[in-house]
Structure 1
Amino acid sequence: MKVAFIGLGVMGYPMAGHLQRAGLAVTVYNRTIAKAQAWVAEYGGAFAETPAAAAATADIVLMCVGNDDDLRAVSLGSDGAVAAMRQGTLLVDHTTASAEIARELHASCAAAGIGFLDAPVSGGEQGALNGQLTIMCGGDESAFTEARSVLDIYAKQLRWMGPAGSGQLTKMVNQICIAGLLQGLSEALNFATRAGLDVEEVVAAISQGAAQSWQMDNRHATMAAGSYEHGFAVDWMRKDLAICLGEAERNGASLPVTALVDQFYKEVQQMGGSRWDTSSLLARLDK
């Protein structure tokens, strides 16, 4: 199978690598060509200088870029993938973006005789490196069935959620949960420290009960150490939360905690933490 992978960021770089190592013939595209050349040097495969050139011979094209505008550029732009793709092929978008762009791309692909899935991922850089991502898919169920064998290569959880946009909406639910969890964990660890408790002992005592979470298990130690130079950047979380809040305005959902945490992340940015991990909410309480 011939695969194109567009976007070699923190997530896309190892995801494309898993596909090449699984025996697929992968051609990559990245806006910074040097990154694509480095990927080829590490994994083999090939690189192209435009999204269209990467997609022209591919059976399936996968994208993982920054935002809605980036998606339009690499898929529908003058050198975009869609115009170069053959009928009967499949476009899969792993970007965390809006449900609106997912529906737009689905319609454009349908008009061109191409299948489409919005398939945002969760699991962070570690999940991408280990091939253990959660993938939430929206689009035609037939497209999901067709893509499944490829997505399974780097997925630990893979689900079809409904029509186009459903994957992005599910990812929004994921980010809303994470924002609230991290604020609660930050407040709890700050409280424990100010109360004179041993944070490690506290976590050991409560982490097998109702308070347990992935964030507690995987982030409490780095949070307690004030270490945030890793993980999912605050800038990206604010981008995601803006998508959530925008969608809530459209569907009437109330997100008061999410809106508040978004403003707390703005404070972290003002502290110089734009590229810190999302667990850095604790840093603003430690000031």
Structure 2
Amino acid sequence: MIGWIGLGHIGRAMAERLSEEYELLVWNRTMEKAKGFKNIAKTLEEVAEKCDVIFLSLYDSEAVRQVSERLLKIDLSGKIIVDTTTNHYEKVLEFHELYRYNGAFYLESPVIGSVVPARNGQLTILVSGEKEAFEKVLSYLEKLGKKIFYFEEPGKATKLKLINNFVLGAFMAVLGEAIALGEKAGISKEELIEVLENGAGNSVVLKAKKEKLLNEDYSTHFSVKNLVKDLSYAYDLAVASRKTILLNPIVRELYRLAFERNMEELDFSVIYKLLKEL
């Protein structure tokens, strides 16, 4: 039985996908989110006791720390923790050491993609950690992802994920502003998107968000709140790397404007709506 901790938007989609082929024991802090699963643990500790492979899908590194403190009260010797959370690049190194010290394997495994690709097994998964553990869980990861990158060096997968999400946020902002500009200039949104997807705007981002933009449906696949967190982590990485980056702070503050309009829990494609209103 596989353990699964964390059933947010993407966490639930991944757990549902994995449960099609494997038996899962799930736990979430808000137990209502676990409805629909066959096996629901009453406590976090129950997952640690019954499962040799435990997936984490949490909001941030603080949540991972809190969950880890409880998990480590149980003997985890030989067990594998697969952490799909997008972590802070420094904290994730601490988690490697923490679990290793307690005899467990820890794989940082952040995913690229949102709810729909997660449910369809089309994620890109970045993994750092010991190869022995990676090979043991590879069949599970292949159920979730179409492309899996493995790096033995701890922390590398997380750095790559943070850089990727900076590009994601910046690209969505550019698309949002471009479409808002075109509409102001008298061009229909449908025409704008069709030209962009056959021109410079052609991208995975536009393909994924096309229907949301056309229908102005901002139901959450990847929230503004999560993106702002990832952009902040990416900025910290730049500071530590002594690399000047000019766009990250601008992009981050642009999405933070959404907080002032109570949009932080909506899908990050809502940046188009915000830019249109400015």
Distance change in 2, residues 1:9/1:133 (3 Å): same
State the Cα distance separating 1:255 from its structure 2 match: 2.5
CA contact (8 A) 2:7 2:28 kept: yes
Q: Which residue of 1 aligns with 2:140?
A: 150
The equivalent position to 1:259 in structure 2, one of 224, 243, 249, is 249
CA contact (8 A) 2:177 2:276 kept: no
In structure 1, what residue type is equivalent to 2:238?
A
Hey, what's the Cα distance between the residues in 2 that align with 1:56 and 1:167? 28
Distance change in 2, residues 1:220/1:33 (3 Å): closer
In structure 1, what residue type is equivalent to 2:44?
P
Does 1:54 find its partner at 2:52? Answer: no
- What secondary structure is seen at the aligned counterpart in 2 of 1:66? coil
Distance change in 2, residues 1:170/1:73 (3 Å): same
Distance change in 2, residues 1:200/1:161 (3 Å): farther
Q: Which residue of 1 aligns with 2:9?
A: 10
Hey, what's the Cα distance between the residues in 2 that align with 1:206 and 1:261? 21
Hey, what's the Cα distance between the residues in 1 that align with 2:240 and 2:4? 32
Distance change in 2, residues 1:157/1:143 (3 Å): same
Hey, what's the Cα distance between the residues in 2 that align with 1:18 and 1:282? 30
Q: Tell me how many residue pairs correspond in the alignment.
A: 277
Does 1:69 find its partner at 2:59? Answer: no
Does 1:190 find its partner at 2:180? Answer: yes
State the Cα distance separating 1:221 from its structure 2 match: 4.3
Q: Which residue of 2 aligns with 1:26?
A: 24
Distance change in 2, residues 1:201/1:84 (3 Å): same
Unaligned runs of 5+ in 2: none
- Pairing of 1:222-237 with structure 2 (within 5 A): 222-237=212-227
- Pairing of 1:46-195 with structure 2 (within 5 A): 46-75=39-68, 77=69, 80-195=70-185
Hey, what's the Cα distance between the residues in 2 that align with 1:58 and 1:85? 11
Higher relative contact order (CA 8 A, sep 6+): 2
- What secondary structure is seen at the aligned counterpart in 1 of 2:59? coil
Which aligned segments of 4 or more residues in structure 1 are displaced greater than 6 angstroms?
A: none
Does 1:247 find its partner at 2:246? Answer: no
- What secondary structure is seen at the aligned counterpart in 2 of 1:53? helix
CA contact (8 A) 1:189 1:224 kept: no
Normalized against structure 2, the TM-score is what?
0.92
TM-align CA RMSD: 1.8
In structure 1, what residue type is equivalent to 2:12?
Y
State the Cα distance separating 1:93 from its structure 2 match: 0.3
Hey, what's the Cα distance between the residues in 2 that align with 1:198 and 1:34? 42
In structure 2, what residue type is equivalent to 1:202?
L
State the Cα distance separating 1:53 from its structure 2 match: 1.4
CA contact (8 A) 2:48 2:54 kept: yes
Hey, what's the Cα distance between the residues in 1 that align with 2:159 and 2:73? 27
Distance change in 2, residues 1:271/1:154 (3 Å): same
Hey, what's the Cα distance between the residues in 2 that align with 1:163 and 1:239? 24
Q: Deviations over 1:7-55 (max 9, x none)?
A: 1111122222222220x2311111122333x1xxx242x2223222111
In structure 2, what residue type is equivalent to 1:34?
E
CA contact (8 A) 2:52 2:79 kept: yes
In structure 1, what residue type is equivalent to 2:42?
E
CA contact (8 A) 1:268 1:283 kept: no
Normalized against structure 1, the TM-score is what?
0.90
Q: Please identify, of 58-67 and 84-93, the stretch whose mean Cα deviation from structure 2 is larger.
A: 84-93
- What secondary structure is seen at the aligned counterpart in 1 of 2:72? helix
Distance change in 2, residues 1:196/1:34 (3 Å): closer
CA contact (8 A) 2:166 2:230 kept: no
In structure 2, what residue type is equivalent to 1:70?
A
Identity %, equivalent residues:
26
Q: Deviations over 1:156-182 (max 9, x none)?
A: 111113411112111101111111101
